[in-house]
Amino acid sequence: MTIIETKLPGVVIIEPRIFTDDRGYFFESFSQRLFEEKVCKTVFMQDNESKSSYGVIRGLHFQKPPFSQSKLVRVIKGAVLDVAVDIRKGSPTFGQWEAVELTAENHRQFFVPRGFAHGFSVLSEEVVFQYKCDNYYAPQYEGAIAWDDPDLGIDWGIPADKAVLSEKDRKHARLKDTEWLFDYTERLY
């Protein structure tokens, strides 16, 4: 696998080594050993999958300690724009974001570590999206930031009038008004 660093330390794009022939393709989508050697030491304990249609935006979500989560995400059908936002107070990159297009064709994966909010927009007619989490989902520890926070200025790759959101995702506060954020000096792993 090839690791592509981003401007946000710890947030990486992973490109698998793909073997193709006249039958199709094969690639190793995850190896705990390689992940720990090249990205970080963590153990994934929950796999999730969602299906969405064009224009859906999910995010920007995170979980607070002690249920903070890292996510390793990928697309198996369609395309998304996947986004990570640094929400660690005191971080040199606080409030900055990184985005990557994940598609069934490019097989890229995106690692979003603890201390970052995560979201994605669906660019294709339909998407099947998978993600590994290194902690269990705990609804009482959910946190979120407004997907359309003007201070962040995220270009989701779809017109705002075509955005499809859950009722909950329509009501999140802007980053500057969020009551709970991570502390950059705190160890998250």
Residues contacting 5, CB < 8 A, separation 6+: 12
Annotated catalytic residue within 118, 131, 141, 189 = 131
Longest CA pairwise span in the chain (Å): 54
Given 3-state DSSP classes, what are the helix, strand and coil percentages for the chain, each rounded to the nearest 5? Answer: 10, 40, 50
Active-site residue 118, yes or no? no
Cα 37 to Cα 33: distance, rounded to the nearest angstrom:
6
**Entry field: residues in the chain:** 189
DSSP-derived 3-state class of residue 183: strand
* Distance from the first to the final alpha carbon of the chain: 23
3, 17 Cβ separation under 8 angstroms = no
Closest C-alpha to 14, from 27, 23, 25, 26 = 27
- Taking the C-alpha atoms of residue 58 and residue 67, their distance in angstroms, rounded to an integer, is 19
Q: Which of 54, 61, 136, 137 is catalytic?
A: 61
Active site residue 189: no
For residue 125, the 8-state DSSP code is S
Active site residues: 61, 131
